Every structure is written in structure tokens, then in C-alpha cells.
Structure 1
């Protein structure tokens, strides 16, 4: 038992040292707070996709400039990304063994995507400081799948 405690404390110290803060908000949504100068690249966050509501119902839109708002999600987002500064370029990519979707709502609007990179959705571009809600959807109602979100400021060809 003490070993697990020490590992947790050590991991907490490392996370706080590099400028990432992962916190659980009152609503149960994980907050990912990023500071441009001190965040590891890529930042990788795990989660579980899916829900019982159509994304179009939750977001009240069918399509955005980055793609269609497909899939099933919960009303509450999977994550909340909080950017403390402007990012000239940032990519948020989902990796999963199954086809997933991504929806992001934040300063400036809503962005959705399904299959930028095979079955992996991507949202990328300039990002304003502020709070962004992130939903990861599944293509079937109440089907839940593991995923990783990779957040990077490095431009690569898809």
C-alpha cells in the first residue's frame, strides 16, 4: 500500500512540475490545463467514448467547417481543455481501435470531425485562450470504447 502512495505522490509532483494540471471538476469532468511554455509534447490523455445521446442533439448542430457532428455522446463532455495562452497551432487527435468521433466547443464555436486519419478524428489549427469542452463519440448508442487523445503543437502531415 505505501508503494502505491509514493508512486501517486511522485507522479503528482512530475505532472505539476511540467505545467500540466489534471483536475476533476465538480461536475466530474476532467480538466486538462495547458501552459504553452511548459507542457510536454505530445500530451496523452486516456478516456472512454460513447453515450446515449446523438451529438447533434447535444451540440444543436449537424456539421462544422471541420466535419460532421456524428456519433453518440453524453450531455457532459469527456474532458475540458483549458488553454492559458494563444496557440498558433495545436492538434487534438483521437486514437482508438474503433471508429470514434470528436466534438469540441469553445471560444469561437463548435468543431466536429469523424475520419481525418482513417478512423481517427482530428481537430487542428489556431486556438484562442479559454475553456474547451471535448466529447469523444461512438457510432452506436451506448457503446463505450477506450481511446487516447494526443494533443500536440507539432505540425505533421496526416
Structure 2
């Protein structure tokens, strides 16, 4: 399913064979101006069809307002992106999940994440087509909070692996790598940030980390 969102949207590919629902929640503070579009294509987040409804929230949501200035020490590693960035893809590894229900960040998100983002995407200039992919030996989920406040969630685009893709504006975007089940926290994952449209989530598992 594709849905255009105010001033910005993402394309997410669903390869599970089932229908996927689209989620995009605006958390822009009242009175803020909307971000102007940076590309003709919409950003479309997607929830996969392999799982049931999102888990019930069991914790109070932290303040994830995009109005605050991110602190690198609390926001995870910063990955700097600009048009034509190298190396492409950027590969990182980590441990997914945490105690926080992802629906505490947005009611349409699934799984469990840490209270601090796994990575911070620092986009220096608009990138017309960028993909964030995650591969994990288990059921991974992905939450991207755009700099202007919108939250994009994805689950089960390729098997149990999530992908978010589309035009990314300049700014700092928070990336949370989660697990569908709370008890799966700590499962190792591989993450890729790329402009390559043909790169699959399974393929990134064998790629070395880039620094």
C-alpha cells in the first residue's frame, strides 16, 4: 500500500507475499511549519503481513520529540550521509531490541526497541533515494523517526527483515532496530544504508563493516 504523507514519504518493498499496511505518524509540534518535499516519490512505510497486531504497550513512552537537539552520546553512532556518499553501502552491526514497546514511539509500530536510537542518520543534503535495510536471524523491526518528527515503521518486507526506503531530506533522523518479541532483545543484526536498489537484506549479512 502507498500513502503520501505531508511533505515527505517513503517507499517500502513488501516481498512476503502478503498484504502490508502503511503507517506514518506525524509528531510535529503544533505551530511548526511542514517540511517542503525533496523528491516526487512518496515515503511509504509498511508493516508486513507475517505477524499479528502490535504488542500491547507496557511502558510509558519517553519524550522522543524531534524539537530537542540530539546528543551523540545518547543517540547512538552518527552515520553521515550526502548525495554520492562512499562507501555505499554503509554496513554496521549491533544488537537489536530493548525493553521499550515500539508503539510507545508511534502506535502503529511493532516490536521492542531500546530507549535510545541504534543510529543517527545525519543527512547533510537531500538524498532522493535512500534505503535502510536490516537482516537478523529472527524477526526484526525497524523504526525511523524523521528529523521533522514523523515516525515510519516497517516489518517483514523481505521475509522477517524490514526495509525503509525513499527520499530523505537533510537533517538528523533516528533509527531504532527492534525485535518483534521482547524476549529476543540482544539478537545480533546487520544494518545497511545504501542507494543500491538491488541490494537485499540477506546479501548484507556477508558484507564486512565499513568505517
TM-score, shorter chain, exceeding 0.5 = yes
Paired with 1:77 and 1:125, the residues of 2 have a C-alpha distance of: 20
Rate the CA distance shift 1:157–1:80 in 2: closer, same or farther, 3 A. closer
Question: What is the distance in 1 between the residues matched to 2:196 and 2:83?
Answer: 12
CA deviation digits over 1:77-116, x for unaligned, max 9? 1111101111110010001111100000013411100100
2:110 alignment partner, SS class: coil
State the distance in 1 between where 2:138 and 2:169 align. Answer: 30
Return the structure number with greater helix share.
1
Q: Which residue of 1 aligns with 2:107?
A: 62
Tell me the distance in 2 between the aligned counterparts of 1:39 and 1:130: 19
Find the aligned partners of 1:116 and 1:84 in 2 and give their Cα distance.
Answer: 27
Higher strand proportion:
1
Quote the RMSD (CA, aligned, Å). 1.8
Residue in structure 1 matched with residue 166 of structure 2 by the alignment: 125
SS of 1:50's equivalent in the other structure is: coil
- 1:88 alignment partner in structure 2: 128
Alignment of 1:1-158 (within 5 A): 25-27=72-74, 29-57=76-104, 59=105, 61-63=106-108, 69-108=109-148, 109-142=150-183, 143-156=185-198
Structure 1 unaligned regions, length at least 5: 1-23, 64-68
Q: Residues 26 and 82 of structure 1: is their aligned pair in 2 closer, same or farther, counting only changes over 3 Å?
A: same
